């Protein structure tokens, strides 16, 4: 079982937005609106900062982003998404291997998991992925790191980009809180209403504690 991080296990938008605005200020850019921040979103944190400030100010802005992101976690830590902690516990109890594959940098990703108290291995971060999502490289690396075949893995994300990444990797993918329109008789639905329903998709029952 492989999870995307932001929006899937962790509700990180507010701390991300806070850090992006500080990054823009360090780059001498007027405070971006919420719409501009949303438009700048890319599959990795570094690419998002680049889209916001441009290459000329990237080094300065990236340093500011990382500093403010980590500082904000200590002041106002984000929450795990609904049912995330309980779902991870149940998946471990069922005997499944679990891990996180993210386009966020390893340092910030691990800090997010720690801040939310989520005990799940960070398998692949931006630094280990040859290409960003929706390219399959990062997800395939996570599958192999967990000792799985693609047919044995299930990937859970929260965006259409996650869905494209999973499909390009040949890994069954569920999208949290989304409904994919599809003609009748085609591929199975990818919609996962909430994380608490995830165990039903694994074909396993939770083991009884002794």
Position 95 pLDDT exceeds 80? yes
pLDDT of residue 114: 97
160 lies in some domain = yes
Between CA 83 and CA 142 the distance in angstroms is 23
210 lies in some domain = no
Q: Does 71 lie in the same domain as 157?
A: no
Any idea which residue has 């396993």 for tokens? 204
What pLDDT band is residue 201 in, cutting at 50, 70 and 90? confident
Q: How many domains does the chain have?
A: 2
CB 90 within 8 A of CB 201: no
Q: Does 189 lie in the same domain as 152?
A: yes
Q: Does 68 lie in the same domain as 147?
A: no
Task: Tell me the residue range of the domain where 100 lies.
Answer: 2-9+79-201
Between CA 5 and CA 16 the distance in angstroms is 13
| Residues in a beta bridge with 3 | 100, 156
Q: Does 86 lie in the same domain as 68?
A: no
Q: Does 174 lie in the same domain as 141?
A: yes
Any idea which residue has 């040859």 for tokens? 130
CATH number at residue 188: 3.40.50.1000
Full-model pTM: 0.90
| Residues in a beta bridge with 191 | 175
Closest to 138 (Cα-Cα) out of 159, 166, 112: 166
pLDDT of residue 118: 97
User: Which of left, alpha, beta for 19 (phi over 0: left; psi -120 to 50: alpha)?
Assistant: alpha
How far from chain centre, in Å, is Cα 178? 15
Q: Does 36 lie in the same domain as 136?
A: no
Q: Does 88 lie in the same domain as 162?
A: yes
26 lies in some domain = yes
pLDDT of residue 205: 53
Q: Does 163 lie in the same domain as 85?
A: yes
Write the pLDDT tens digit of every residue in 23-77.
Answer: 999 999 999 999 999 999 999 999 999 999 999 999 999 999 999 999 999 999 9
For residue 199, the 8-state DSSP code is G
208 lies in some domain = no
For residue 195, the 8-state DSSP code is G
Position 207 pLDDT exceeds 70? no
pLDDT of residue 186: 46
pLDDT of residue 181: 46
Q: What is the mean pLDDT of residues 85-98?
A: 95
Write the pLDDT tens digit of every residue in 122-133.
Answer: 999 999 998 999
Say whether 94 sits in a helix, a strand or coil. coil
Q: Does 70 lie in the same domain as 32?
A: yes
Say whether 162 sits in a helix, a strand or coil. helix
Residue after which a domain boundary falls, among 75, 93, 120: 75
177 lies in some domain = yes
Residue length, the chain? 210
Write the pLDDT tens digit of every residue in 133-183.
Answer: 999 999 999 999 999 999 999 999 999 999 999 999 999 999 998 655 444
Residue after which a domain boundary falls, among 75, 104, 124: 75
Q: Does 86 lie in the same domain as 36?
A: no
Q: Does 106 lie in the same domain as 71?
A: no
What pLDDT band is residue 202 in, cutting at 50, 70 and 90? confident
Closest to 79 (Cα-Cα) out of 148, 9, 175: 9
Residues 37, 43, 49: CA angle, nearest 5 degrees: 45
130 lies in some domain = yes
Q: Does 194 lie in the same domain as 94?
A: yes
Residue after which a domain boundary falls, among 75, 95, 126: 75
121 lies in some domain = yes
């Amino acid at each position: 079982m492989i999870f995307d991080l932001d929006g899937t296990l962790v509700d990180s938008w507010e701390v991300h937005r806070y850090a992006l605005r500080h990054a823009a200020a360090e780059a001498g850019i007027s405070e971006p609106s919420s719409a501009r921040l949303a438009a700048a979103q890319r599959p990795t944190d570094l690419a998002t900062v680049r889209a916001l400030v441009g290459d000329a100010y990237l080094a300065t802005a990236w340093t500011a982003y990382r500093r403010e992101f980590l500082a904000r976690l200590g002041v106002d830590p984000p929450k795990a998404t609904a049912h995330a902690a309980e779902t991870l516990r149940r998946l471990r109890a069922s005997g499944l291997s679990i891990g996180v594959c993210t386009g966020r940098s390893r340092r910030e990703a691990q800090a997010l998991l720690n801040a939310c108290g989520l005990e799940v291995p960070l398998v692949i971060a931006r630094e280990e992925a040859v290409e960003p999502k929706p390219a399959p490289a990062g997800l395939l690396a996570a599958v192999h790191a967990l000792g799985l075949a693609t047919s044995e893995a299930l990937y859970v994300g929260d965006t259409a980009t996650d869905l494209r990444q999973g499909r390009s990797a040949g890994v069954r993918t569920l999208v949290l809180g989304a409904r994919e329109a599809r003609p009748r008789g085609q591929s199975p639905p990818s919609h996962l209403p909430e994380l608490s329903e995830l165990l039903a998709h694994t074909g396993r029952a939770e083991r009884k504690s002794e």
